[in-house]
Structure 1
Amino acid sequence: MRILIADDASDQREILGLLLARWGHEVVPASDGLEAWEILNRERVQLVLSDWMMPGLDGLELCRRIRAREAGYYVYIILLTARDDKEDLIAGMHAGADDFLTKPFHFEELRVRLRSAQRVLELETQLEERNRHLVSVNEELRSALDRIQADLVAAAAMQRSLLPQGSPLSQRLALDWLFIPAAVVAGDIFNFFEHDGRYLEFYLLDVAGHGVPSAMLSVSLSRILSLERAAGGAPLAAPHEVVATLNRRFQSDDASLYFTIVYGHFDTLSGIGELCQAGHPHPLLVRRGGAIERVGEGGFPVGMLPDLDYESVRFTLRPGDRLILYSDGVTDCRDAAGEQFELGRLHRVAGDCHDKPLATLTACLAERLQEWRGTGEIEDDISMLVLERR
């Protein structure tokens, strides 16, 4: 070990130095406390043998300065003193001394104290190495988390780009929507597209689970639906046929990999539409006067069981009527007491806003849900798509 000897008595310093060198230690001599302090500030020394009484800077003050500084490693201090009363020992401990040797002392006693100090310092060194390793690991984890977060933000931006970017050009139909993901990326997704300048095809789906796996499947589904159904010249398929095709295509050995969906199309001239409901909450028909009806036949989620039959149901929108599609994140939203928002409250919001613009309806629902859950986190993605015949 490197041992600093701080003693204003040169003979005592030399004797200790020769003895410590004989035991295999490296000795750093200091003629007083001030010189010892200067050495400690420019060199790494972890064990100090210091006389208590020295001119300028005594052993107690040297202890206090060592303990007050931020060296990044531990310095073990043994005070050499002729004092042996209880009050002096307490004062030395308060100043920061680890051990004491009362003059005159036996060399073997010193040797034993040094071995004890060495064990403590070895443990401190091991702890220091572990701390450095932990700091390095934490920095790597932070860097990895930053990259993951950046990827999630980019994925969320890409996912949002797949959502509707504006209403169709038709003067016969108005649309609005609400989208509040529970995480950075979501399992809910929806869209609509025109067909032959007369029909509007639409869907809203909810992939089981949360986070990245659900979001990846929802993005894949969005791309498939948009590319296949928006292809120029493609015939208008019955909603139940589209859903059945998805069910055959997305069978998986993973029982948790499934989704619910409402898929349909609407004739903007006649006001007649068809939709297929597969495990998704029942769409709502809000009549111009405020009456609310349910549409759909339920059905199994997509990807859960093979060779399922799905059904399309017809609906009619007269001018001023609305069709509301929503995910169960709306009705399942919980308040601080764990109570769900439930369908009745959604009915009230839809009924209260039946004669107001669609933007008022979606804004009002978002506000009510925020008030309902308070500061609590969203447990599930919230999405809603609303069509209104003009």
Structure 2
Amino acid sequence: MANISSPRGIDRPLNILVVDDDDLFLDYITWELETLNCSVTGVPDAAQALALLDIQLFDMFITDWQMPGMDGIALVQRVRSLHSQDRFLHVVMTTARGDSETVRAALEAGVDDFLFKPLDRLQLELAMASARRNVMLHHRLQRRNHHLAAAHTRTRNAYRRVQGDLDAAAALHRRLLPEWEMADGLRVAWAYRPAQHISGDTIGVLPLRNCGRLFFLADVQGHGVPAALASFHIHHRLAQLAPDSPAAMARAIVDLNREIASQNSESYATLICGLLFPHSREGWIIRAGHPPPLLLQPGRIKAMAVPGAFPLGWFDDAEFEPSHFVLPPQARLVLYSDGVTECCDRDGSALELEGLCDLLAMAADEPIATIVRSVEAKLSARRGRAGFEDDISLLALEIIEGVETGDGD
């Protein structure tokens, strides 16, 4: 009879360990297996089989059921307990007993297939074809697992590199944030909580040569790296232009708007930008698509009447007009992103402007830093473990009473 062909992909000899205390049967099955392209090692007892399995890899293990000392069932159980977790081994049992209890006991011990005595050539070929197929599938699975492990390692390393870049970008963004207390009569406090690893918001308070302060809060559409890069550009350009008069501030924002609009992308940003001169308490504000600033005074909170213009990047020919204001004694100026007023609680209800005013009122008599921290803590409590859906930015300014400042001329 012609041999049943091996499954495609297994051309090398199968490495087989055979255990049988019958020398004649051991010689016979060894010869038959070698004619089926197998490399066979035969031993007469379980002890020698266990010793070989500890030092050598086999594709297949054939053991007799009845042997002196440790029988086939006990041997298979021992082999499976020692090696089943770290190597593949196709186990076949030879037996003259074909009753259901015998077969069930062998299967429970870990036997994969049976050869019944007296051994039939066709039966052996069928058993070997099944064994080759299992070995081939195991080797294929090993290769795939190796490729998956390598791909996982590459992905993990790439993720670590990206995470490192994001950490560096986040640290750079935070270095742009202003000092909490500045010289020359101005006190500053802020809250800054990105929805993702890095923020599309940016906050700036910059000293000017004429003793004024340029302050701004920008909110770029979207989240993540693109928004963070755009907000970094806005911060850098405003710091570079450093407008020190209302007219210069208007020109700077017109230029910035044209730069964003010329990028031919759907990106845009809302911005509130202002000048404040602590010595005179005078200031000017431009609001480009941003929520109105709040004036926090003893016993009252109100939104300042600052006309709004289009967000930066919508129209390249947009104009921006500064609005004049005076910051009264004991008053605090509060700027915020829409991530604050749109912050939802667990039921999906947004804070809105009225809710923000209530939060500010709860700590209105406290120092400015306490007010900001209180609002930030209550926003975090609204979200719980869910985290923020949008970037959170809030900037509060106040003039320090009794501090001498320059004349601003």
| Alignment TM-score, normalising by the size of structure 2 | 0.90
2: CA distance, partners of 1:254 / 1:39: 72
Aligned to 1:294: 304
Aligned to 1:32: 45
Q: 1:168 aligns with which of 168, 178, 182?
A: 182
The amino acid across from 1:375 in the alignment is R
1:65-104 superposed matches below 5 A? 65-68=78-81, 69-70=83-84, 72-104=86-118
Question: In the alignment, is the contact (CA less than 8 A) between 2:245 and 2:275 conserved in 1?
Answer: no
The amino acid across from 1:33 in the alignment is A
Question: In the alignment, is the contact (CA less than 8 A) between 1:266 and 1:272 conserved in 2?
Answer: yes
Three-state SS of the structure 1 residue aligned to 2:309 is: coil
2: CA distance, partners of 1:113 / 1:322: 87
2: CA distance, partners of 1:55 / 1:219: 81
Aligned to 1:351: 361
Q: 2:344 aligns with which of 300, 315, 334?
A: 334
Question: In the alignment, is the contact (CA less than 8 A) between 1:33 and 1:58 conserved in 2?
Answer: yes
Aligned to 1:314: 324
Structure 1 alignment gaps of length 5 or more: none
Segment of structure 1 superposing worse, 234-243 or 114-123: 234-243
Q: Is 2:153 the counterpart of 1:139?
A: yes
Q: 1:217 aligns with which of 219, 230, 239?
A: 230
Relative distance call for 1:3 and 1:254 in structure 2 (3 A) is: farther
The amino acid across from 1:381 in the alignment is D
Q: Is 2:313 the counterpart of 1:303?
A: yes
CA deviation after TM superposition for structure 1 residue 83, in Å: 1.4
2: CA distance, partners of 1:165 / 1:272: 21
Segment of structure 1 superposing worse, 92-101 or 27-36: 27-36
Q: Is 2:133 the counterpart of 1:119?
A: yes
Question: In the alignment, is the contact (CA less than 8 A) between 2:180 and 2:187 conserved in 1?
Answer: no
CA deviation after TM superposition for structure 1 residue 158, in Å: 1.2
1: CA distance, partners of 2:59 / 2:110: 14
Question: In the alignment, is the contact (CA less than 8 A) between 2:217 and 2:395 conserved in 1?
Answer: yes
Three-state SS of the structure 1 residue aligned to 2:214 is: strand
1: CA distance, partners of 2:305 / 2:47: 89
Structure 2 alignment gaps of length 5 or more: 1-13, 402-409
1:152-191 superposed matches below 5 A? 152-171=166-185, 173-191=186-204
Aligned to 1:323: 333
Q: 2:241 aligns with which of 219, 228, 231?
A: 228
1:267-278 superposed matches below 5 A? 267-278=277-288
- RMSD in angstroms over aligned alpha carbons? 1.7
Three-state SS of the structure 2 residue aligned to 1:250 is: helix
The amino acid across from 1:140 in the alignment is R
The amino acid across from 2:287 in the alignment is Q
CA deviation after TM superposition for structure 1 residue 237, in Å: 4.2
Question: In the alignment, is the contact (CA less than 8 A) between 1:177 and 1:386 conserved in 2?
Answer: yes
1: CA distance, partners of 2:180 / 2:38: 80
Three-state SS of the structure 2 residue aligned to 1:80 is: strand
Question: In the alignment, is the contact (CA less than 8 A) between 1:239 and 1:274 conserved in 2?
Answer: no
Three-state SS of the structure 1 residue aligned to 2:298 is: coil
Question: In the alignment, is the contact (CA less than 8 A) between 2:241 and 2:252 conserved in 1?
Answer: no
Q: Report how many aligned residue pairs link the two structures.
A: 386
CA deviation after TM superposition for structure 1 residue 254, in Å: 4.5
2: CA distance, partners of 1:335 / 1:36: 68
Question: In the alignment, is the contact (CA less than 8 A) between 2:301 and 2:357 conserved in 1?
Answer: no
CA deviation after TM superposition for structure 1 residue 324, in Å: 0.6
Three-state SS of the structure 1 residue aligned to 2:300 is: coil
CA deviation after TM superposition for structure 1 residue 13, in Å: 0.8
1: CA distance, partners of 2:286 / 2:254: 10
CA deviation after TM superposition for structure 1 residue 252, in Å: 4.1
Aligned to 2:123: 109
Question: In the alignment, is the contact (CA less than 8 A) between 2:294 and 2:333 conserved in 1?
Answer: yes
| Alignment TM-score, normalising by the size of structure 1 | 0.94
Question: In the alignment, is the contact (CA less than 8 A) between 1:33 and 1:62 conserved in 2?
Answer: yes
Aligned to 1:5: 18
2: CA distance, partners of 1:276 / 1:98: 80
Question: In the alignment, is the contact (CA less than 8 A) between 1:335 and 1:376 conserved in 2?
Answer: no
Segment of structure 1 superposing worse, 190-199 or 96-105: 190-199
Q: Is 2:35 the counterpart of 1:22?
A: yes
Q: 1:364 aligns with which of 343, 367, 374?
A: 374
Aligned to 1:55: 68
Aligned to 1:387: 397
CA deviation after TM superposition for structure 1 residue 236, in Å: 6.2
Q: 1:128 aligns with which of 129, 135, 142?
A: 142
